[in-house]
Amino acid sequence: MKRSERLVNITKYLLARPHVLTSLPYFAENYGAAKSSISEDLGILKRTLAADEDGILETVAGAAGGVRYIPFMGEDKARAYVKRLVNEVQQPDRILPGGFLYLSDVLGSPYHLQQIGKLISTHYAYSNVDYVMTIETKGIALAQAVSRYLNVPFVTVRHRSRVTEGATLSVNYVASASDHVEKMELANRMLQENSNVLIVDDFIKGGGTLSGMEQLVKEFHCETVGKCILCEAYYPHQQQVSDYLALVSISQIDQQNKTIHAQPGNFLEQTDFNKFEK
């Protein structure tokens, strides 16, 4: 195989396997090339990813070492995307009766899911996440997008028992919209004990659903390592939880004048983007 074809191949291979460690000998054997040539190829990929600020090629030294591709978004790209997202969210035709917001198009768009997934994964790239968790229905797209870039499974909490899940563990929580006590549950075999869980959801108002999921994580003897929301509706007095990240923050939905006031949430300021080795 020619040098240039090997380079394309290695790029394809690593981009398809985020966070997975591959040893240099694997590449050397697979391509019938010297380890020094492979090292050069990896150096090119590393510099190209860093120059574009859209990924990190991490080198792990030693006998059990190798390289892994960490999807990672640079600060400029992150700010530009969040700005675009805020503009998108502020479109007046998103207002639905009752002060709700139509976001299903964003959550069904491959472009947005790619950006959002990569952005959230950037923050949690070094948090040793074992599972991404969300609650049905709209959070699923988000969880799957993050799961892709962290390369860990995602699990979906359900509102009520389904016959196709088997045994489940359930908790009660106060639904913000209704003030009623409701039930959420997850199949027993979905989470392994002592795992690190990242909770994501599309929208937060009071935070009842979020604290329900945290409680569920505890019941499974796991730990919540992060909570990240696409869009928060920030009405301070209603908050049941506060220590989460939000990409977009909505301060006002004015149904009469058909305006939405949104701004970047706390996600950007809470994220350390300085991980690129130059």
Q: Please report, as residue ranges, which positions from 61 to 120 form the binding site for a second copy (by CB under 8 A).
A: 96-98, 100-105, 108-110, 113-114
User: Do 152 and 129 form a contact (C-beta atoms < 8 A)?
Assistant: yes
Binding mask 198-237 for a second copy (x = CB under 8 A): -----x----------------------------------
Q: State the minimum distance, in angstroms, from the CB of residue 145 to a second copy.
A: 8
Q: What's the token pair of residue 197?
A: 């869980």
The size of the interface with a second copy (CB under 8 A), counted in residues, is 57
- Candidates 11-19, 217-225, 230-238, 252-260; binding stretch for a second copy (CB under 8 A): 11-19
Q: Which residue has the tokens 């694997």?
A: 26
Choose, by CB under 8 A, the member of 23, 24, 28, 54 that binds a second copy.
54
Candidate list 180, 189, 218, 261; residue touching a second copy; CB under 8 A: 189
Taking the least distance from each CB to a second copy, the nearer of 114 and 215 is: 114
CB of 95 to a second copy, least distance (A): 9
For every residue of 197-212, which 3-state class applies, written as one string? EEEEEEEECCCHHHHH
Q: Which is nearer to a second copy, 37 or 266 (CB)?
A: 37
What is the b/e burial string over 111-120, where b = at least 16 CB atoms within 10 angstroms of the residue's CB? ebbebbbbbb
Q: How far is the CB of 84 from a second copy (least distance, A)?
A: 17
Binding residues among 122-181 for a second copy as defined by CB under 8 A: 136-138, 140-141, 144-145, 147-148, 151-156, 158, 163-166
**Least gap, CB of 163 to a second copy (angstroms):** 6
Which of 35, 47, 160, 221 forms a contact with a second copy (CB under 8 A)? 47
The residues that touch a second copy, with contacts defined as CB under 8 A, are 2-5, 7-9, 11-12, 15-16, 44-45, 47-49, 51-52, 54, 96-98, 100-105, 108-110, 113-114, 136-138, 140-141, 144-145, 147-148, 151-156, 158, 163-166, 187, 189-190, 203
